[in-house]
Amino acid sequence: MPSVMPSIRVKVLFFGRLRELTGLAEEAGELPEGATLAQVFERYAERYPKLAGFRNSMVVSRNQEFAAWDTRVAAGDEIAFLPPVSGG
């Protein structure tokens, strides 16, 4: 029997310069179960190589809370990649 990693569906959002750089505001993503936020980012950095350089000048949120990069994602999560904030 082939071992297939079960996959989960999540929503992925990009804002500010990260949105401009990817040309992507939002998409439905499919990820292997147990993936961390860092691994989600790596997938996008493969697709959009320019993203990689921003890894240390951004934060990530999971379900609208800032999250550590080693947080594991779950089905239905809303994940967002956020540049330094500059409201006010």
The residues binding another protein (CB under 8 A) are: 13, 15-17, 57-61, 64, 66-72, 80, 82-88
Distance of closest approach, residue 1 Cβ to another protein, in angstroms:
32
Decide: helix, strand or coil at residue 86.
coil
Considering the complex, state which of residue 52 and residue 68 has its C-beta at the smaller distance from another protein: 68
DSSP line for 14-68: E-HHHHHHHT-SEEEEEEETT-BHHHHHHHHHHHSGGGGGGGGG-EEEETTEEE-
Considering the complex, state which of residue 24 and residue 82 has its C-beta at the smaller distance from another protein: 82
Distance of closest approach, residue 58 Cβ to another protein, in angstroms:
8
